Homo-oligomer: A and B are copies of this chain.
Amino acid sequence: MTSSDTPLRVAIILIGNELLSGKIQDENGHYATRRLRALGASVTRVSIIPDVQADIVDEVQRCLRSNDVVITSGGVGPTHDDITLECIAEALGVDCYLEPQLEALINRYFGDRVTPAHMRMATIPRGSALLEAGENTWPIVHTESVYVLPGVPEIFRAKFEALAERLRRGQWYLRSIYLNVDEGAIAALLLELERDHGVSIGSYPKWRGTDYRVRVTVEARSPDQVNAAIAEAAQQLDPTVIVRVDDPLGTTD
């Protein structure tokens, strides 16, 4: 049992040479990051790695060591560079097997045109579970804490939404305070607020097109923490530098 005050730790691994050769700009990492934050999670890292067995195995093992959940994107098609499923099996120390339900789906879809390459998509790590994915007939393969999603953005998003509620735990609260001051002048105060109130502070300077010079964000798992830190900031700052404070309290979404 984990309290909802402890955010779910999630790592995202984006797999594909095309992302590292600049051919394709990833969309899935930011999509999942933003949605996971709204679901109360902490995304601890996003890695873009190539279709290389050693890299994938190593990254999955490394991410599993310090996260509750790992989400992968890409490398689940029929071609020679689609090796995500076999690498996850290796990372977990299990073998792969031809899963009958997936095999039947592939045979139904491809009929006479089925090739051994297609069957690689149905060859999954021993111990995997299949999650229904709403409208889509192809299920989400997951194994222990690893969810294996396809790289094509529209399918990635549909699959992500199909499993999103399983990942919801607690909530982040956020308020911002907008200041007309140089970041360097408030650095000590921000550190103090973070330490005294157990909140996460972000500091975002802007140079153009805004009526403020720094936006300071205050985030925590409880509204009280956020409000207390904002109140202290407002008290300690020179009132003339405060442009405005976000009110009421928002969530990170």
Whole-angstrom distance from the CB of A105 to the nearest CB of chain B?
14
The interface residues of chain B lying within 8 Å CB-to-CB of A45 are 20, 47-50, 55
How far is A186 from B79 in the complex, measured between Cα atoms in Å? 8
Which of A23, A38, A113, A120 has the most chain B CB atoms closer than 10 A to its own CB? A23
Identical chains bound together, number: 2
Q: Are A187's CB and B219's CB within 8 A?
A: no
Q: How far is the CA of A48 from the CA of B152 in the complex (A)?
A: 21
Given B29, B34, B55, B185, which contacts A115 in the complex, CB threshold below 8 Å? Answer: B185
Q: What is the 8 Å Cβ interface bit string for chain A, positions 22-39, against chain B (1 contact, 0 not)?
A: 111110011001111110
Chain B residue with the shortest CB-CB distance to A29: B48
Instruction: Assess whether B200 is in contact with A17, with CB atoms less than 8 Å apart.
Output: yes
A80 to B203, CA, bound (A): 10
Q: Which of B18, B117, B183 contacts A188 (CB 8 A)?
A: B117
> Within 8 Å of chain B (Cβ to Cβ): is A118?
yes
Chain B CB within 8 A of A205 CB? yes
Chain B residue numbers with a CB within 8 Å of A77 are 183, 203, 205
Q: Report the minimum CB–CB distance from A81 to chain B (whole Å).
A: 7
Given contacts A30-B25, A45-B55, contact A182 B113 (CB under 8 A): yes
Does B22 contact A203, Cβ atoms closer than 8 Å? no
What are some 11 contacts across the A-B interface (CB < 8 A)? A19-B33, A20-B43, A21-B172, A26-B30, A44-B55, A45-B55, A47-B47, A78-B187, A79-B184, A80-B190, A113-B184
